[in-house]
Amino acid sequence: MTRVVARIPAARGRVDRISVQVRVDDMPPGVEVDVTDVVLTGGADPSGVVPHPSDLALRRGQRQFRNGTVTRSDTVIAMANADRASPSRVHVSGSGEVRVGSFRFGAVRGSAIADGEAGTASQGWGRVPLITERSDLHARVDITAPTQLIVEWVDRI
């Protein structure tokens, strides 16, 4: 599988129309190409790559991880779809003020962890995000500088 990510510059900040064409050269006879997960996002910063379901490596009943760099305050979605609600553990790394959902890490210099299942945190206060039954985790992340975010949980069945 190959992923292609590219920026399309817009003259004068306007786009009237976008056409996407997929072209494959020199394919052996009998080989097929499937194109999935085409995402177009506005603005200077891409919102991220859309994962293929096989990339998620869901392991029912085991610990799950999702990670990425958050470049601006935004709502983050961690694809989960667990059968039962599960508390999460949130790791953040960076240098700046960080809030994930209603958990306020405060000023992070390096890294910090908040564990919803154990009820512990290396710093900060609040409620660590909970993955609700049959749902993804949706959490507002407010930051003052780019921050690495890792969310983990046990997929309860």
CATH number at residue 117: 2.60.120
d(CA 92, CA 152): 12
d(CA 114, CA 148): 14
Question: Domain range holding 134?
Answer: 55-154
Q: How many domains does the chain have?
A: 1
- Is residue 16 a part of any domain in this protein? no
- Is residue 29 a part of any domain in this protein? no
- Is residue 66 a part of any domain in this protein? yes
- Is residue 7 a part of any domain in this protein? no
The per-residue pLDDT string of the chain (157 residues; one tens digit each, 9 = 90 and over) reads 444 555 566 666 677 777 777 777 788 888 877 776 666 666 655 555 555 555 555 556 677 778 888 888 988 888 776 778 889 999 999 999 999 999 999 999 999 999 999 999 999 999 999 988 888 888 999 999 999 999 998 877 6
Nearest to 102 by CA among 123, 119, 127: 127
